[in-house]
Chains A and B, each alone.
Chain A
Amino acid sequence: MYIRIKAADINNTQVKKIEELSGQNIFDCYQCGNCSSGCPVVDYMDISPNQAMRLAQYGRIEEVLSSEMIWICSTCLQCSSRCPKGIDVAKVMEAFRTINLRNGIGVVNPKQLGITETKDIPPILLICAMRKMTG
């Protein structure tokens, strides 16, 4: 419940990386919350999409990278379609995931998926999950 805001953090290299990967300007966000109110899975998230945007504006990328929300986002694009500032929020979420995935951090480990869990699941679903969440 405490943030020390420092000039050096704002627009630090990690923020730039997120902007580069997503192609979005993080500072366009004016915190209207529309991304979160339309997000179908926000009730399962530890921080909401608009809070992730805010933390990014403070340069606190690590905090978002270690959150659960980026893995709960199901890339439905509802946030992107309604953001009044035209931010493709889902792309920002993807950028967070991507940084983790490229560092080998993911939440789906194909080796650990049991047969019973995957027996009836259609290929489309398994491949989706692995593409988005296997590091």
Chain B
Amino acid sequence: MKKIGVFVCHCGVNIKDTVDVEKLTEQLAIYPGVTYIENYMFMCSDPGQNMIKKAIKEKKLDGIVVAACSPTLHESTFQNAVEEIGLNKYQLEVANIREQCSWVHNNIQEATRKADLIIKTAIEKLKLNESLKPVSAPLTKRVMVIGGGIAGIQAALDIADGGYEVVLVEKKPSIGGHMIQLSETFPTLDCSQCILTPKMVQLGKNKKVTLYVNSEVESIDGFMGNFKIKIKRKPQYVDPDICTMCGDCTDVCPVVVHSEYDEGLSWRRAIYVPFPQAIPASFTIDTENCLGFEPIACGECKKVCQAEAINYDVKTEFFEEEIGAVIIATGFDLYPVENIAEYGYGKYPDVLNGLQFERILSATGPTGGEMLRPSDGKVPKEIVFIQCSGSRDPERHKSYCSRICCMYTLKHAKLYKHKVHDGQPYIFYIDIRSGGKRYEEFIQQAVSEEGIVYIRGKVAKVYKKGDKMIVHGMDTLTGKKVEIEADLVVLAQSIVPSEGVEKLIKTLKLSSDDSGFLMEAHPKLRPLESLQSGFYLAGAAQGPKDIPDSVSQASGAAAKILALMSKDEIQHEPIIAVVDENMCSGCGICIGTCPYGARILDENKVAIVNDILCEGCGACISACPSGAAQQKNLTDDQINNMIRVILS
């Protein structure tokens, strides 16, 4: 029989105050199989680990139970410790007596009894544990980045820099994301396009990067290290390699629609370049609005294109890419403020959202950078900004703080002042969130020196009177109701997950949080990874973020992937299903049950397990009517023994 050592942790007072560790030690010392037992204040500390190692050596132990916190925290700590001394790490079990016992109970006697049982089940399981070796799998050294905003661009560049190939999938006709729409960026007020376009060009030229624009991920197969991902590319009808960007086609196109780039404040044709610095630099036909290629319908653009870059016969194409790991950088969109009827967005042309105001501020925008309001092209002399519009409102809108709008609103007010010196900006706020580096100073300076007036209170209503926008607000500091006759109103809308991302999340089988943003593996300790192995997160896709934070997360995720790519192969947990050939009846039930496609029937009609694909979820094992399938180190015998202990 195995010689088992049990180590009971106090976790300072976390366990000891609720579980009588001394009594436990006494009771368990005489439990069959236990050769050695000790308790200690912090098992995970160096002295704690050394205690285990010493006991293994001196008492010739061949199985260890550590009764401490959840295995998600320290299982690997203790596994490494026992392996250092030559014991197979699958001969170690962690009994969770903290999260599942001391933290959730307060009766010492009862908690001690429960801890005793938890440890005994671990001992019973351990008795039948096999020594296992990790399963090795090959690693495809190619990375996919989904989303070509600043986060996706940065991640792709870093990975390409590290020497690996990158496939970037962007659903729009150009990369750039929202940052390309911004005028200047807080807190340094450098021109957004000036700092972004060099990166876009670099990416476009990078030999290691394959760019798919107008594209989305269609389906995925495989597992971490060895994904097969299918990409769907909508036709662009203009060959980017041939198009000379002469613009003749646009001139003849009879269709005029709102420009996405200018957030509906200007117009474009059905054949268009999203913006001058687009990468890839090429025209695109927007089939939703194009009249049709048949000569009776239209077909004008093709006639005038001298380079013969336009080809109407292109069809939607599908590509399959072999990928080792994926970064999701799908960014954000703005909460549709039509939902906040009292602010009149969508009803009044002089109520804008933040991105529209960026376009008005921008030199490449609809007004050429002049501060003019949409309704009548006049210079707005008094302008009201409304923060938290749709955010921090669990009742009707979004419960969270959108994190970046305090800062960009102040930036808006400042840039407005730079253009209209005698203009007066007012900012309605509830709280100001300026935690970033040099952010608070940015705000203080504007308030003291630039005449920007902050009013603490939420706006109830915006309506039009003559050519003015009347704003009813509250100054909670004086307790007085405030009314402002403004020329323009700008709403700082909530940041929400990008449109359609829920479909992507479903396709990739990822998880999202309750607001629809991608869910990180751990909010503090693993913020760059998804819960599902092989997927990493960057930028506003994971939660509202400004550019510095998006870039940091992107580079961080890239570094994680570079670390992964530096390995020759990936290791896979060996806690997987096995089939006893003699018992399998060949019914095939397990094959449909496996969510990872790891089960097949071989030529002899016996089910087999693909060790690399099996995630050890156990679904097939419970489904098998013949009892032919077992999970390594979690066999029926082990489970029965564990249950028996609990019921004894």
Contacts and interface: CB of A to CB of B under 8 A. Distances in A.
B396 A84 contact: yes
B303 interface: no
B133 interface: no
A30 B476 contact: no
B340 to A, nearest CB: 10
Contacts of A83: 395
Nearest to B391: A84
Interface of A: 30-34, 36-39, 42-43, 47-48, 50-51, 78, 82-86
A87 to B, nearest CB: 8
A114 to B, nearest CB: 33
A73 to B, nearest CB: 14
Interface centre among B392, B393, B480 (most CB of A within 10 A): B393
Contacts of B480: 48
Contacts of B342: 38, 82
Contacts of A36: 457, 474, 476, 479, 481
A85 B394 contact: yes
Nearest to B388: A32
A95 to B, nearest CB: 20
A84 B456 contact: no
B474 A48 contact: yes
B114 interface: no
A126 B480 CA distance: 31
A64 B354 CA distance: 39
A131 to B, nearest CB: 27
B479 A34 contact: no
B430 A30 contact: yes
A82 B397 CA distance: 11
B73 interface: no
Contact of A50 (B459, B472, B474): B474
Nearest to A42: B481
20 contacts: A32-B457, A33-B457, A33-B473, A33-B474, A34-B457, A34-B458, A36-B457, A36-B474, A36-B479, A37-B457, A37-B482, A38-B460, A38-B461, A38-B472, A42-B481, A48-B479, A51-B479, A82-B342, A84-B393, A84-B396
Contacts of A31: 430, 476
Contacts of B395: 83-86
Contacts of B457: 32-34, 36-37, 50
Contact of A48 (B392, B394, B459, B481): B481
A106 B461 CA distance: 32
Given A37-B473, A48-B474, A84 B397 contact: yes
Nearest to B431: A30
A48 B480 CA distance: 8
A32 B395 CA distance: 13
A37 B478 CA distance: 13
Interface string B460-493: 1100000000001111100111100000000000
Contacts of A38: 342, 460-461, 472
Contact of A37 (B388, B393, B459): B459
The 3 lowest CB-CB distance pairs between A and B, nearest first, are A38-B460, A33-B457, A37-B474
A51 B480 CA distance: 10
Interface in B441-465: 456-461
A39 B388 CA distance: 20
A78 B393 CA distance: 16
B82 to A, nearest CB: 51
Nearest to B429: A32
Interface centre among B393, B472, B481 (most CB of A within 10 A): B481
A31 B456 CA distance: 9
A64 to B, nearest CB: 13
B394 A33 contact: no
A78 B474 CA distance: 14
A20 to B, nearest CB: 22
Contact of B460 (A37, A47, A85): A37
Nearest to B398: A84
A37 B430 CA distance: 13
A55 B534 CA distance: 53
A37 B472 CA distance: 6
Interface string B371-415: 000000000000000001000111111000000000000000000
A37 B458 contact: yes
B472 A33 contact: no
A82 B460 contact: yes
Contacts of B393: 84-85
A34 B474 contact: yes
B394 A34 contact: no
A51 B479 CA distance: 7
Interface centre among A33, A43, A84 (most CB of B within 10 A): A33
